[in-house]
Amino acid sequence: MRYIAVLKGTQPAGPPPPGLMAAIVDLGAQATASGALLDNARLSPSAAGARITVAGGELSVMDGPFAEAKEYISYAVYEVRSKEEAVEWTSRFMQAHLELWPGWRGECDVIKILAPEDFGPPR
């Protein structure tokens, strides 16, 4: 099963602590070596993006930045045996932030990526 973990957060002023970056690199190496981590990357600020909305029978496009206080920061794609395993890897990532970056606030959504077997037999 594949899961995507999407991180949103609000950064305190200044760069992330070096210890945090080392912990993230180490965790990424562990997840890659185990075969769980398939892909991950940082995301640009919303100012560089666009939002496409369908509402009231119309499509609209709005350039960023967006009004939300939290920005999308990064994502990771995991190939794991269960949702619990994806949550475990993501919790370890978030725990590093909790321990090593005082004042940082964020949340990470862990969402299953649907595959053909999730839709039943074709008709």
Quick one: pLDDT band at residue 41, thresholds 50, 70, 90?
A: very high
The answer to whether residue 8 scores a pLDDT higher than 90 is yes
Residue 67 has pLDDT above 80, yes or no: no
pLDDT confidence tier of residue 121, bands split at 50, 70 and 90? confident
- Output the CA angle 24-19-94, nearest 5 degrees: 45
Could you give the number of structural domains in the chain?
1
Residue 10 maps to a domain: yes
pTM of the predicted structure, to 2 decimals: 0.87
For residue 75, being part of any structural domain is answered with yes
pLDDT at 14: 82
20 has a pLDDT exceeding 80: yes
| 102: containing domain | 2-115
Whether residue 122 is contained in a domain is answered as: no
Whether the per-residue pLDDT at 104 is higher than 80: the answer is yes
Look up the CATH number of the domain holding residue 77.
3.30.70.1060
CA distances from 71 to 7, 28, 78, 89, 91 (A): 8, 21, 22, 21, 19
With respect to residue 38, please indicate whether it lies within any of the assigned structural domains: yes
Residue 121 lies in a domain: no
